[in-house]
Structure 1
Amino acid sequence: MPIDASACPQPAGRPNEPKSLPLPALRCVIRAAAEDAQMDVDLLDDVLVVVNELATNGLEHGQEPVTVTVEITAATVVVHVWDAMLAALPALRIAGVHDENGRGLRLVTELSMLSWGRVGQRKYVRAQLPCPRPPRTGALITVDLQPLATPRHRALAW
C-alpha cells in the first residue's frame, strides 16, 4: 500500500540556501509506514533517530543523489543511506565538550549495528536495529532526498 505523504511537512528554504534538509518530510513518511506496520513505539523512536542522523550526514557530507531506504521485517529494521561521495567513508569522532557536531554516528552505534562501505559508484551507511516485537506487516520505504525540493518517495508494504 503506498504511503500518502501529502500531510507531511514540506521543506522550507530559500533558493539561495545550499542545503534545505527535507528531514521533517522524511521522518513523516517513515513514521507513517512504521505506524501502518504497527511497529513498537520505542523501536520507532530509535529508528527515527537513526534515520535522521544518517540522512543528515548523507546530505551534509555526501554527494547527491542521497537515497534512504528503510526495510521493516519481522526480526529487524535496516536503514541504508546511499550517496555518491566515494572519496570519504564515515569515521567515528570523539567530540569535544564544546563541539556542536560529531556525536551522530556514536549515537547511532548505541542504537544499532552500524557498518559502511562502497558498492559500485555509491557509498552506503547501514544501521540494523532488532525488533523486540514483530510488526504486523513488513515494509520497504525508499526516499530520494533532494535538498531544495520535496523528497520523492516510493513505499511498498506487505
Structure 2
Amino acid sequence: MQQLRTSTPPTTAQEVRRWVLDTPAELRGLRASLHEALTGHALAEGEELDDVPERLVLVATELATNALRHGIPPTVVRLLDTEDRFLLDVADHDLSTVPELVEMRLSGSGGRGLQLALAFSLDVGWYATETSKHIWASFPHG
C-alpha cells in the first residue's frame, strides 16, 4: 500500500466553519451545512451541486465516513479558506494508524475517500498533532 504524503495545509487558511460528528447519521446534515457554507444557500431536495461544491462535499463525506468507521470519535470536519482556495480538513483521534492509499474497491465496500480526494482536489496531505490525525484537501474557489 502507498502512503499519503505528510504535510500541513497552508498556514494562511482561516476557518470558515467546523462540524463535530459522532455518528454516521450526522453525515447528511454535514453535506447540507457544508453546501450552505460554500454557496450561501441550503441545498434543496434533489438539487444538483455546482462542480467545486459537489466535489468538495463528496470528498468531505467520504473522508468523514472513513474517519467515523476506522478512527476514534469525534470526527472533526473543518472548512477553511485562503485567498484562492478552500481547504477541507478532516480529523479523527486515532494516532495509531497512518493514512494509506488503497486500490479502489467495488462500490459500497469503502476505501474511496483518499482516492476521490486525489482525483478531485488540487492537493492532498495529512499530518498529526498530539491528539489527532488530519487529512486535508484543497479546492479552487468555484
TM-score normalised by length of structure 1: 0.64
1:32 matched to 2:36? The reply is: yes
Count of residue pairs the alignment pairs up: 115
Tell me: CA distance 1:99–1:75, structure 2 relative to 1, closer, same or farther (3 Å).
same
Bigger-Rg structure (1/2): 1
Q: Does the aligned pair in 1 maintain the 2:104–2:115 contact within 8 Å?
A: no
- CA RMSD, Structure 1 to Structure 2 (Å): 2.7
Runs of 4+ in 1 over 4 A off after TM superposition: 96-99
Deviation at 1:96, TM superposition (A): 4.8
Name the SS for the 2:87 alignment partner. strand
Deviation at 1:71, TM superposition (A): 1.4
Structure 1 range deviating more: 103-112 or 55-64: 103-112
What is the aligned partner in structure 1 of residue 125 from structure 2? 115
The aligned amino acid for 1:126 is: W
What is the aligned partner in structure 2 of residue 21 from structure 1? 25
Identify the match of residue 60 of structure 2 among 32, 47, 51.
51
Identity percentage of aligned residues: 28
What is the aligned partner in structure 2 of residue 141 from structure 1? none
Deviation at 1:89, TM superposition (A): 1.5
Name the SS for the 1:81 alignment partner. strand
1:68 matched to 2:77? The reply is: yes
TM-score normalised by length of structure 2: 0.70
Structure 2 residues without counterparts, runs of 5 or longer = 1-16, 18-22, 42-48
Deviation at 1:33, TM superposition (A): 1.3
What is the aligned partner in structure 1 of residue 140 from structure 2? 130
